Amino acid sequence: MNNNKTGSLKFMKITVTLCFAIFTALIYAQSPTVDIERSNNKITLDGVNYYIHIVRKGESLFALSKVYNVPVDSIKKDNKLILANGLQPNQYIKMRITDDMDDEQKFNYHTVIKGDTPFGIAKKYNSSIDEIYKNNPNSDMGLSIGQIIKIPINETNKTAVIEVVELTENNGFIVHTVEKKQTLYGISVLYKTTVDDIKKANPEIESGNISIGQQLKIPASQQTIESNDEYNMHMVAKQETIYGICKMYDIKNKQLTKLNPEIETTGLQVGMLLRIPKNNFTDNVIKDNQTPTSVNNYIPTTTVDNKANYDTIQYITPVKVNNFNKDKIYKVAFFLPLYLNMVDTSVNENTGKRELKIYPKAQIFLEFYEGALLALRELQTMGVSFDVHVFDTRNDSNTVAEILKNPALKGFNLFIGPVFSDNLDKVGDFAWEHQINIVSPLSIKSSFIEHNPYSFQVSPPFHIQMKHASEFLNSIDTKNYIVIHDGNDSEQEYISKFKEQLFAQMTDDNFAQFKYNEVHYYDARDSVLKNVFSPNIENIVIVPSQNRAFVSDVIGKLNGYSHDYNIITFGQPRWLTFDNIELENFHNTKTHIFSNSYIDYNNENVKSFVRKYRNYYKNEPDRFAFQGYDITYYFCSALNMYGHEFRRSIHLHHPDLLQTDYNFVPYTDQGGYLNSSIYILEFTDDYLLKKVASYPGK
């Protein structure tokens, strides 16, 4: 009997082993016969990082869990709505990035307050702008008050400042740079304050450790302010600038920075106490408690050539200025391809009179400069003084090289242009070498600003356009995405970027209710195109092409479908210049365009500009004239308000413009600034072109 039991046990073991082997074989039999390619598309949802994986035929949850090192249960939990009916080909599912499970232990968290900038936050936490942009999607398009920013923890910021010291007019401070052998106690005695007060103003030194070169905020008492016989003290108020303070006390910039060297690195901060050299004039200013004439309100005078007009191009010569005080005149240069060497001044055979004919390629840049001149005239009425020069680049690199040989250019404060990338890089290198602010007015290529802190890019680059377009698309409920392309490489790059940004901004609900199709449309493949449309939901059609003929064909087809399907089309800014497409087709397909400009002709400032343009140039202004005005007014007023270092205060500068709303943000730690402002325009069914959205968050 024991032998029978033993035999039975052996049989059970063999049976269990065999069943397990069969079960294992069945599991692996369900594994895909195709290799699974791990996705590189990453998104962050509710602070958790995911890969976005497109399911292919033959793939299983078990196989995906092995490839991404994520438990099957975790995949099901993160894609509960999507996988309600099981795993299906062409589904987009989220795969949690397991390396980021302990994310909360790797970051400090900073809540954005008024006045915060990426540079300031990076400096506060001993981090970098690049790290902030990398770990906080969309932060490169601007920060909003209350936004929570993740800053990677490193050895030097483990005790980073979390709370911001509130500074008011009655709570000023002095910036002190720690020197050799100095201690907190010695510094407190020097400034007649206490160690505890210094620690309170500088939470990062709670341990009491300070290092040579470290800058500390020293809270100053009234005794501290009045007790020094060598200089007076001035507390910085809101919107004050170095230039305005120097004017107030009739002192030179060098005098102020010599007594307050910290402002060259930290800039002015509200509540900061500045040492002002003592003399009879400054003593009286302090005594009378006079309010400084802020540089925001102080604008010197200029004269513009009043004979300038469209017909004679006299305005191409340098703009004349009053030389009553050269110390207060900033130098500005325009680099534009005016092609003056191509101007035709031949005699008309019919009239016998000599006529001036502008080279066609120069037309838009002449209109740009006409708008710029109106901005200068506007500033003139406010008393602004600039020494303005215009250089004809002819869009020729040799001509630009000759222009840059002019030694006087080294003393300029602002370059506007060139407009084409090759010449822009050349002039940009010169501007970087001589620390001259330079503006790229038209190009969307960002290589120009990567390593030049004095550079500005007005046209938002491609990746920012994609982010805002995707943000807008995700605001639409149930939808069917249809991307129509003609297969060329540039469009494939566009589609790849579009998908990356689209998925990066999707919520759980979005994942559960969208379809996505890409159509390679050629040779009028009408049947293939129509098959991807759905009758009961929004059909969001994205057409990345800028080819006039291709767009005309596709829009014509979509116009026909618009009677049976609900269609919303998204196109390129260049479409606005296509005159071969019936506007009715754009309106019927609810075509949307993202653009960095929009002209509201009901706006009083726009009406005034149009009247002035007609009066001076006997013509109607186009978008380049508006652009010339906005760029010139924005940067010249910034230069006048904040001085040569206006880039440090660019986030505070928001003048009323005609067609744009600039929002400049730092590109990299060592780089310049790019504009992240975008409008979404719609051809509405009541036959208007309306601005339906503004980004970021206006």
Q: What is the pLDDT of residues 248-257, one digit of tens each?
A: 777 877 788 8
Q: What is the pLDDT of residues 117-142, one digit of tens each?
A: 777 787 777 788 778 877 776 677 67
Higher-scoring residue by pLDDT: 347, 306: 347
- C-alpha distances in angstroms, 476 versus 109, 513, 537, 694? 31, 11, 11, 15
Beta bridge partners of 93: 53
* Extended beta strands in 393-509, E state: 414-416, 437-440, 455-457, 479-485
Model confidence at 297, pLDDT cuts 50, 70, 90, reads very low
Domain 2-97 and domain 106-152 have a common topology: yes
Q: What percent of the chain has pLDDT over 90?
A: 18
Q: How many CA atoms lie within 13 A of 469 on its CB side?
A: 33
Residue ranges of the domains in the chain?
A: 2-97, 106-152, 165-227, 230-291, 314-460+603-681, 463-595
Using a 10 angstrom Cβ sphere, with 0-12 exposed, 13-18 middle and 19 or more buried, the burial of residue 157 is middle
The pLDDT of residue 157 = 52
Higher-scoring residue by pLDDT: 446, 640: 640
Task: Estimate the crossing angle of helix 623-642 against helix 604-617, to 10 degrees.
Answer: 110
| Coil, helix or strand at residue 413 | coil
DSSP 348: P
The pLDDT of residue 155 = 56
**What is the mean predicted confidence (pLDDT) over 509-531?**
70
Model confidence at 196, pLDDT cuts 50, 70, 90, reads confident
Cα–Cα distance between 373 and 359 in angstroms, integer?
20
The pLDDT of residue 344 = 75
Cα–Cα distance between 546 and 346 in angstroms, integer?
38
Please give the biggest Cα pair distance in the chain: 132
**What is the mean predicted confidence (pLDDT) over 170-179?**
69
318 Rama sector, left if φ>0, alpha if ψ -120 to 50, beta otherwise = beta
**Residue 370 CB neighbour total at 10 angstroms:** 23
The pLDDT of residue 150 = 77
151 Rama sector, left if φ>0, alpha if ψ -120 to 50, beta otherwise = beta
Cα–Cα distance between 49 and 43 in angstroms, integer?
6
| CA neighbor of 593 nearest in space, from 567, 623, 573, 579 | 573
| Four-way CATH pick for 463-595: 2.30.30.240, 3.40.50.300, 2.40.50.140, 3.40.50.2300 | 3.40.50.2300
> What torsion do the CA atoms of 661, 666, 667, 671 make, to the nearest 10 degrees?
130
Cα–Cα distance between 608 and 615 in angstroms, integer?
11
Model confidence at 478, pLDDT cuts 50, 70, 90, reads low
Cα–Cα distance between 81 and 58 in angstroms, integer?
21
Q: Which residue has the tokens 């209109």?
A: 367
| Coil, helix or strand at residue 427 | helix
**What is the mean predicted confidence (pLDDT) over 563-577?**
87
| Four-way CATH pick for 2-97: 3.90.1150.10, 3.30.1490.20, 3.10.350.10, 3.30.565.10 | 3.10.350.10
The pLDDT of residue 407 = 92
Task: Find the angle CA(40)-CA(45)-CA(46) to the nearest 5 degrees.
Answer: 150
Mean pLDDT across the chain: 75
| CA neighbor of 366 nearest in space, from 332, 330, 337 | 337
Cα–Cα distance between 266 and 21 in angstroms, integer?
70
Q: What is the pLDDT of residues 373-402, one digit of tens each?
A: 999 998 888 878 889 999 999 999 999 999
DSSP codes, 390-412: EEE-TT-HHHHHHHTT-GGGGG-
Cα–Cα distance between 338 and 479 in angstroms, integer?
48
Q: Does 3.10.350.10 match the CATH number of domain 230-291?
A: yes
The pLDDT of residue 628 = 96
Using a 10 angstrom Cβ sphere, with 0-12 exposed, 13-18 middle and 19 or more buried, the burial of residue 257 is middle
**Residue 592 CB neighbour total at 10 angstroms:** 22
Cα–Cα distance between 518 and 496 in angstroms, integer?
11
- C-alpha distances in angstroms, 486 versus 280, 449, 495, 559? 76, 32, 12, 19
106-152 topology per CATH: Membrane-bound Lytic Murein Transglycosylase D; Chain A (3.10.350)
**What is the mean predicted confidence (pLDDT) over 458-477?**
77
Paired tokens of 185: 């106690």
CATH code linked to domain 165-227: 3.10.350.10
Contact predicate 177/261, CB 8 Å: yes
What are the start-end ranges of the H helices in 267-322?
A: 280-288
Model confidence at 288, pLDDT cuts 50, 70, 90, reads very low
| Four-way CATH pick for 314-460+603-681: 2.60.120.380, 3.30.420.130, 2.30.30.40, 3.40.50.2300 | 3.40.50.2300
C-alpha radius of gyration, the chain, whole number: 32
| CA neighbor of 501 nearest in space, from 170, 200, 138 | 138
Pair type for strands 273-277 and 514-520? unpaired
| CA neighbor of 594 nearest in space, from 606, 576, 581 | 576
Q: What is the sign, positive or negative, of the torsion defined by CA atoms of 608, 611, 614, 620? A: positive
Q: Which residue has the tokens 């006087």?
A: 408
